[in-house]
Structure 1
Amino acid sequence: MGSGEQSGRDVLTRSVRGQARRVGLGAALGCVHQLGEAVVPVLIGVVIDQAVAGQDAGRLLLWLAVLAVVYVTLSWSFRLGARAGERGAEEAAHTLRLAIVRRVLDARGGAEDGRLPGELANVATEDAKRVGAVNMALMSGTWAVAGVTASAVALLLTSVPLGLIVLLGTPVLLWLGHLLSKPLERRSEAEQDRAAHASGVAADLVAGLRVLKGLGAQRAAVERYRGTSRLSLAATLRAARAESWQTGLVLALTGGFIALIALVGGRLALDGSLSLGQLVSAVGLALFLLGPLETFAWVNAELAQGRASAARIAQVLAAEPAVVGGDDPVPQPVRGALRLRGVRLGDGTDGIDLDVAAGRLTGIAVTDPACAEALLRCLGRERDPESGTVELDGVPLNRFDPAQLRAAVLVAAHDAVLFDGSLADNVTPRAEPEDDGTPDGSAAEPSAGDGTGDADADVLTERAMCAAHADEVARSLPHGTATGVGEGGRSLSGGQRQRVLLARALRAGPPVLVVHDPTTAVDALTEARIAEGLREIRRGRTTLVVTNSPALLAVADRVVLLDGGRVGAEGTHAELVRADATYRTAVLA
């Protein structure tokens, strides 16, 4: 659940703490590797002084054997340490992705407000990956500290001036690297914001491609995406420039630092303070320092990007819920009586007073589509009304747990999507591997209240398919119900998708079903058949059909006209057609 107190630092802290064991193991093994790397130049210097200069073959073989053992040790420690670090990074990213998905799918909503689906996907993938990589960066930074420390100690034992240069110069380099990473952090956050927005716009355009083609608006859509993409490219280039400047300057400072060590070591060798072997060791240690110091530059860049991504993730995780309160279970059995009193949502509703009798088919006609959308959000508890109350069987909706409520009051929006899979998979509900939060499962049971609790699941699916005339869709497909419908059902026509979506809602069999414009893309004859099938399969259970379709309103037990955000008229379809001009205009025009 969202919390306004959550910050990017909190996200980073939890991510690192969650992988402390793996990162600690990887850091320990990496320190062994760095110690071995630092020992190699020292051993080479010893070989030169004791074996090569003294022409002692026995000592030469002995030290070569020692070098071989050191190489094997540092090789395996690097291999195992890197594996632990990489696993820690991937596990942390995966944990963050799960947390983001849980927040986005939370029944109380709110995480998606002001964000396109593509933006949320970008946060759950790229940002989570960058924050997870912080674990690897911290581990690598620990390696680098160990490498610098080991080199400094070795240089101190070889020459005090060289060791002091390393000990005093490294903190200065780290401080400068941190300062240089600040612009990168700011530009990295802007880059991710622009990239996420571009992804969201692209996903939005692809989802509405058929509509765009029908309107002939492809050129406008392309121009919109081109503009968004250019802004994203500009932000990416700014971030890339900041990273290149940061890396280049840090490498230049590092190179100068190494050159200073080599210069001082050379002068000490010339005045006899260092032997030939010691000079070789000092130069080798100086060259080895390039690796840890370059790692520091990389770590600074990764931390800067990780902080920026953590801040974006924190915004999603800390998003305030769209609806608050409500933990009570839905009482069983659900009769299905709905009551609205003075409901205002600020975007179409203006004090709705409405009673929906249990077990009846009620039609809701509207003069303003915004009113229909607001009513659906209110009944599905995607938003709580600004004023007024909505009750189910005499109990306010805001007292119920939202997930359980939506199992009892299913709102089937007309723009719902199909999943990538077969037609059968999209119609028949799958068994959940975990408890869905209902006390006994009855609120979510597809057959609850339909009088066919012992019926075979295939029979229930067949009834739903027939009622929605989705069986005709199946017969027209090459493999029947086993045919894949493609992502979002794009392999189906608009009318076919609508029938499959309606079949899915009917197959769920909730105590209260609210459907919105389920037949706008089908022909008149099929619409009339669907209306009769809907009435038959939902007989005895509460059903609301929000539509201006005469065929669907004609089979309703009662029709309510919402005009100007209020109830304007009530009666049967035939009565309202005869007596209400506003209704005739809304429904028959």
Structure 2
Amino acid sequence: MAPDQDATLIDLATLRSSGAVLRAMVRRDPLKFSLGALGAALVSVANVSIPLAMGRAVQVGLVDHRFSGFALWLGVVALAYLLRAGATTLRLHSNMSASMLQHDMRVQALARTVDPTGLGSARRLPGDLLTVMITDARTTSRALVALTGVPGQLVTLIGALVALLLIDWRLSVAVLVLTPLLVLMSLKGLAPIQERTRAERRAEAAAAGIAADLTEGLRVVQGLGASARASSRFRTASQTGLAATLRTRTARGIYNAVVSGAVGIFTALLTLLGAVLALNGQITIGALVTVVGLGQTLAPPLRSLGVDTASTLASARASADRVRELVATPPAQQFGTADEPPAGPVHLELRGVTTPTITVPLNLAVPPGRQLGMVGPEPVIDELAALVARERRPATGQLLVDARPAAEWSDDGYRARVLAAPREPELFDGTLRENLTLAPDGPLQAEADKALDAAIWASASGDTVAGLPAGVDEMIGEGGQELSGGQRQRIALARALLHADDLLMLVEPTTSVDPITDREIAERMREFRAGRTTMVACSSANELAQADEVVFFGEDGAIIARGPHESLLALDAYREVLS
């Protein structure tokens, strides 16, 4: 049976340290871990057997001239290679488990990032979050593969020790004395590497975050003539990241060189001791060949224990901390549990609400089932949108939805009532249908297909769909790059209309369309949204003329006037905003 790829494998939010994460990874599927470790151990058995068999083949065939024995031991060598090939496939179990854990960590990190309760910590740039979800999740998962290799490395050491003991006890004593010294030296060098790796990850994430922000706002930066300042900001962050990387690479380079040199000296000393014993006639030529082969066989596990495994685990612990900290980040706000279905058109009311932008207590009731236009300074409108979307809480006062404080509604209960569409028309790489329905392509029920067509009609996007070779199944590129600005805005509007069950708040939904299309959208949207609560913040006379009422806000968020669009045209300040 295929594993459930959506089931949580390890609950990162409950783990208190990077060590706990690594232990949970091992315990999650002990069978796969054991099979991977068994594969590594069998590979090591084969590796130790090969020099033993080669030594016996040389002694029996070339020294004693017994060619039947020579053939026999060559057959043993061939079997050892076959064993190693078969055992290598067992290690695939740990690789598969590591891949599943990587996926699990990515999913948990993404789920926490997009959770509507928000991240209750200092603001993190998108590039930083992306680095945690991709790079740190992958680095952490590699620890499982590294750990399954440890039993094999130990088998190599123990097997070689026993083999050398059978040849001459002095060779075994040399290994017993030198090996702990090598391992101890390796472990002592890990702490500074682990700390520098953490610093490197933080610096890389900061630079990636700034780069993502600059790329997303490239047009704005260029339009404001701030390219030089933005480049300087990124250059400073990149230089900080470079310095952290160089410190880490320097520490690792010195560490690797020292450990590798020590392993080389160990191998040379073991070979030299074997040569001296052979010259003195205390071991045979075949035994010398075995000693030389075992010295070469011991070098990789010794270096792996001291460099590869240790370095991988140091990086994995640093990355595990970052993934765990993101998933365990406390929410910026808590939501309630109320989730009863709407009993009719949604009623929204702000009572005495203030925020850092809205400094005058705001009292505003949105008539249920009606369309309310809103005109005001952009910061005030954006603050209202953030309040309605529950992205921000009032400093004072309350936001009520169906006579209940907004914070008391569960996420499902609130989303069933309220949708605040973002100001910017964000589209995704995929088909037009996927962007509208937020679901993979596939056959739709007739009722759902009808709703999609209605939303396309209301947003005046029919010409856009008709102009695409594959219609709604056409790929529109990352960010909707295959569409014009006006087309992207209308598609985003169609998506909001399709998904808004009742109350819908829109902010400047038609700024990139021509006046004729703007009028068409205003009339169609009024018809499409009949009987449902709609809030439209805009400066479009066409949209405002369709509203039952218009609220005109001042710089401090105070209501300057409220009434039909035609009556507010008598105000100079109102006419100035529309012009």
> How does the TM-score come out when normalised to structure 1?
0.88
**Offset of residue 583 of structure 1:** 4.1
Question: Which amino acid in structure 1 is aligned with residue 451 of structure 2?
Answer: L
- Number of residue pairs matched? 566
What's the counterpart of residue 290 of structure 1?
Answer: 299
Structure 1: gaps (5+ residues): 434-445, 447-453
2:565 matched residue in structure 1: 573
- Alignment of 1:99 onto 2:103: no
Unmatched 5+ stretches in structure 2: 1-10
Contact 1:364-1:546 within 8 A present in 2 as well: yes
Partner of 1:109: 118
2: CA distance, partners of 1:427 / 1:468 = 12
- In structure 2, relative to structure 1, the CA distance for the partners of 1:188 and 1:321 (3 Å cut) is same
Q: Which residue of 1 aligns with 2:508?
A: 517
Match of 2:8 in 1: none
Residue of 42, 45, 53 corresponding to 2:63: 53
Q: 2:369 aligns with which of 359, 362, 367?
A: 359
- Structure-2 separation of matches of 1:102 and 1:92: 15
1:588 maps to 578
Q: Secondary structure at the match of 1:85?
A: helix
Aligned counterparts, 1:100-499, within 5 A: 100-110=109-119, 114-296=123-305, 297-348=307-358, 350-367=360-377, 369-430=378-439, 456-477=447-468, 480-499=471-490
Q: 2:181 is matched by which residue type in structure 1?
A: V
Task: Determine if contact 1:119/1:200 at 8 Å carries over to the other structure.
Answer: yes
The farther-off stretch of 263-272 and 1-10 is: 1-10
SS state at 2:189 partner: helix
Per the alignment, residue 450 of structure 1 pairs with none
Contact 1:323-1:381 within 8 A present in 2 as well = no
Q: Does the aligned pair in 2 maintain the 1:111–1:317 contact within 8 Å?
A: no
Question: 1:262–1:431: structure 2 CA closer, same or farther, 3 Å change rule?
Answer: closer
> 2:387 & 2:381 partners in 1: Cα distance?
10
Matched AA of 1:309: S
Shift of 1:192: 2.4
Residues 216 and 307 (structure 1), Cα distance of their counterparts in 2 relative to 1, 3 Å cut: same
d(CA) in 1 for partners of 2:24, 2:548? 56
- The residue type equivalent to 1:18 in the other structure is R
For the pair 1:505 / 2:517, whether they are aligned, the reply is no
- SS of 1:520's partner is coil
Residue in 1 aligned with 2:553? Answer: 562
User: Residues 207-235 of structure 1: CA distance to partner in whole angstroms, max 9, x if unpaired?
Assistant: 33343444454455445444444443343
Q: 1:582/1:8 Cα in 2 relative to 1: closer, same or farther (>3 Å)?
A: farther
1:305 to partner: Cα distance: 0.9
* CA 1:70–1:466: 2 relative to 1, 3 Å: closer
Q: Structure 2 residue aligned with 1:72, among 51, 75, 82? A: 82
Tell me the TM-score normalized by structure 2: 0.89
Distance 2:121 2:472 in 1: 33
Q: Secondary structure at the match of 1:55?
A: coil
Once the two structures are TM-superposed, the CA of residue 379 in structure 1 deviates from its matched residue by 1.4
Distance 1:38 1:318, change over 3 A: same
1:349/1:375 contact within 8 Å kept = no
Aligned 8 A contact 2:140 2:316 in 1? yes
The alignment yields a C-alpha RMSD, in angstroms, of 2.8
> Deviations along 1:246-276, whole A, 9 cap, x unmatched?
2111101111222222233333334443333
- Could you list the per-position Cα deviations for residues 492-543 of structure 1 after superposition, in whole angstroms to 9, with x for gaps in the alignment? 2222211111111112241111111112222333323322222221111001
Contact 2:362 2:559 survives alignment (8 Å): yes
Question: 1:545 aligns to what?
Answer: 536
Distance 1:459 1:243, change over 3 A: same
> CA distance change for structure 1 residues 404 and 155 in 2, over 3 Å: closer, same or farther?
farther
Does the CA-based 8 Å contact 2:339-2:412 persist in structure 1?
Answer: no
Query: Which of 528-537 and 105-114 deviates more?
Result: 105-114
